[in-house]
């Protein structure tokens, strides 16, 4: 058998395995986000640099008063990363998340993702109010 076919076959097999693990990771994160719905309205944001490996996804559950009641984050270099609780956002108002103030125990990429989630939450509430 031609060595070129073996190399191409190995690359295709590796690519398919990566797609499978990426799918599993996204389904696990979606399940975790779904669990947040019991705590309030859920919004998800992404922040950080994709190519430097510091990208983070943050999901926040916001109550009717605009306070974060639960938050999770997904970040890591591999498809084996799983969502973790993000206690640094608990009890923070959405208006604070929209600003630039640093939050303790929240990385810069998580901070950017939380800001985006807060902005998306605010945009969705404005749209709902405008249509009602």
Three-state SS for 132?
coil
The domain made up of 3-131 has a fold known as Sufe protein. Chain: A (3.90.1010)
CB 68 within 8 A of CB 94: yes
Classify 20 as helix, strand or coil.
helix
Domain boundaries, the chain: 3-131
For residues 57 and 64, the answer to whether their CB atoms sit within 8 Å is no
* CA angle, residues 48, 118, 63, in degrees to nearest 5: 135
Q: Give the pLDDT band (50/70/90) at residue 132.
A: low
pTM: 0.84
Query: Which tens digit of pLDDT belongs to each residue from 61-111?
Result: 999 999 999 999 998 778 888 999 999 999 999 999 999 888 999 999 999
pLDDT of residue 64: 92
Work out whether strand 56-62 and strand 41-47 pair parallel, antiparallel, or are unpaired. Answer: antiparallel
Q: pLDDT for 24-59, tens place per residue?
A: 999 999 999 999 999 999 999 999 887 776 889 999
């Amino acid at each position: 058998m031609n060595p070129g076919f073996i190399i191409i076959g190995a690359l295709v097999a590796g690519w398919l395995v990566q797609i499978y693990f990426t799918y599993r990771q996204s389904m696990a994160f979606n399940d975790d986000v779904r669990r947040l719905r019991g705590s309030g309205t859920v919004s998800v944001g992404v922040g950080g640099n994709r190519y430097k490996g510091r990208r983070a996804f943050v999901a926040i559950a916001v109550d009717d008063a605009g306070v974060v009641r639960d938050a999770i984050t997904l970040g890591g270099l591999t498809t084996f990363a799983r969502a973790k609780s993000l206690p640094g956002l608990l009890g923070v108002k959405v208006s604070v998340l929209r600003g630039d103030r640093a939050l303790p125990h929240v990385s810069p990429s998580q901070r950017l993702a939380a800001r985006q989630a807060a902005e998306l939450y605010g945009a969705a509430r404005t749209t709902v109010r405008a249509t009602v």
